[in-house]
Each structure stands twice: as C-alpha cells, then as structure tokens.
Amino acid sequence: MNLDHSTYSPVCVYHACFPRIPPDLDRHLHNTAPTTLHDHLSYLKKQFRMVAVDELAEPHRAGGIAAITFDDGYKSVITHALPVLMDLDIPCTLYINSSSFDQRVFWRDKIRYIVSHGLVEACEEFLQRSTNTHDMSFYRYTKHPTNNSRRMDEQISIFLENHGHDLQTSRHCFDDVRYLLDHPLISYGNHSHSHYVLSSLSAEDQYQEIHRTRQFLAGIPDIRISSVFAVPFGDLRDYDHHTVTILKELGYRGLLLSRQRLNGNWGGDGDLAIIERFMPRGPDMAKVLAGCLG
C-alpha cells in the first residue's frame, strides 16, 4: 500500500539503542541499533518535515510531518542515539520515568531479568499465578490492567530479593540529572513516575504518578519540556477517564498512544490531542510505515 506523505504524520517510538543488547535485557526489549536508527531516520527525513512531537498537538495540524520519541529513558539513547540525531539534525523527545532518579530499577527490566534468567516458574509460584492467567504469557499478564502494577512491582521486588538477585548494578535507565541535557535537539516529557499501567491504579495513585514526574521535570533548569504526555504501554486499555481528567487539570495538550498506527484523521478528547505512535521493527522504514496502514 502506497503512503501519501502529505496526508500522514508518523510518530516513531523507540526505546533502547544498544549496539548489542545487555544479557540481562535480551528478552522482550525493543532495541534499535544505532546503524538501523540512522537508516530509519534518514528515510523519514527525505519524506517528511521532522518536528518535535508537540507540533502534532497544535489545534491546526497538517500532514507531511514526522516526529521521533524515545520512551523509558534508557542511557543508551544519550550514548548511541543522540550522535545519530545530531548527524541528521533531527529533534526528539525523551519520555522519562522519574522513579529511576530515585535509584529504582525500572520494573519492566525486572520482568525482563526474570524471563532471561529462567526464573518465570519460580516467580509465578511466588505470585501464586500461572501462565494461563488471561491466556497470556508472564511478560504480558504482569502488565495487564486487571493486575495492579504497583502491587505487582512490589511483589516482584520481594521475589528477587528473597532469591538473592540484586539488580542495582543493572540500572540501564537515567538515574542522574546529568542525563537531562540542555540540547537544541532534545525535549523531555512525562511518562509517569513508575511506568505503571495507569488504568490499574486508583485516581489518586494516577495523579501522583503523573504529577511527580511533572514536578520533577519542572525542577530541572534549562531543559525543554514537552506538553504532551506519553501513556505507559500506550494502548486504549492502559488509561481511563481519570487519566484524561488529570492530564487536562495539569495543563497537558496531548496524549501519546503506541498502537502501531499513523496519524491521519486527527482525533482527540476536547482540548487534549490524541497522537498515535508506532514502534519501528526491522531495518526497512518504508515497509514499517506500510505495515502501519495494514
């Protein structure tokens, strides 16, 4: 299917950018090697005008633009992706979870560690759950909205501690403000404090998750801050009406999803723009874009 570049405005969501994935993350991590990232972005720049994602939240938006985002604040983005972005002069927005600055290990990296180290069966026994829960794998049901993410994270941490696994030496996400750069190509955005499934939380817990990262970013001098919020996990089921109410109350102008879709017909909830994203998989960006059209 041919893509009308004047009609669509793709927004990429990347995560890690390791040349080689660390062994403790080698299962289920969305990683794009720097050379592949360069190929992707070179193609996009030839086809679209590259902008910061906030431009897609403007009231009057045209097609023919594209934006780049990175979620979860992996250190490899600064080390390996930023040189690519600088070489091509392409702006990006890095969506962070402020809990990592409290020296907390990203809870989804704990899940990846359990999977890659063959600990799933023992962990499920500890959780008194089975892989048949929701007919999903361990990796998937641990992020299902019916399972409170905060409690799941707490139980996973207890399991790892009880079994003598210390992940503090395996912090791959931003854990120091030195990763928050005053750089003309970089903006930073709110991806919640802990990357929990918001719809699994109470309204008050959701507010704290969103507000804490908003306040954290506001306290960092000289950085560019996005007014668009990135929903953790990015599906419709991962947020609810409480999320929308909170985002409006806190002054956000847009909400980012991650559903392997392109932005064509603009949609929103009143004054909150709904912006679709896709995770590029594979080396050929033209095929990736075509796949998003079905």
| Domain locations along the chain | 11-102+174-292, 107-168
Q: What is the sign of the dihedral through the CA atoms of 34, 48, 289 and 139? A: positive
Q: What is the pLDDT of residues 52-74, one digit of tens each?
A: 999 999 876 667 999 999 999 99
Q: What is the mean pLDDT of residues 174-196?
A: 98
Q: Name the class of domain 11-102+174-292.
A: alpha beta
Q: What is the pLDDT of residues 74-86, one digit of tens each?
A: 999 999 999 999 9
Q: Where are the alpha helices (DSSP H) in the chain?
A: 34-47, 75-76, 82-88, 107-116, 120-127, 138-141, 149-162, 203-218, 241-249, 285-292
177 DSSP assignment = G
Whether pLDDT at 1 is above 70: no
Give the burial class of 118: count Cβ atoms within 10 A of its Cβ; 0-12 exposed, 13-18 middle, 19 or more buried.
exposed
Give per-residue burial for 201-211: e unless 16+ CB within 10 Å, then b.
beeebbbbbbb
Q: Which DSSP string do the residues of 240-268 spell out, in sequence order? A: -HHHHHHHHHTT--EEE--SS--B-S-EE
Band the pLDDT of 5: cuts 50, 70, 90. Answer: confident
Structure tokens at 117: 């180290």
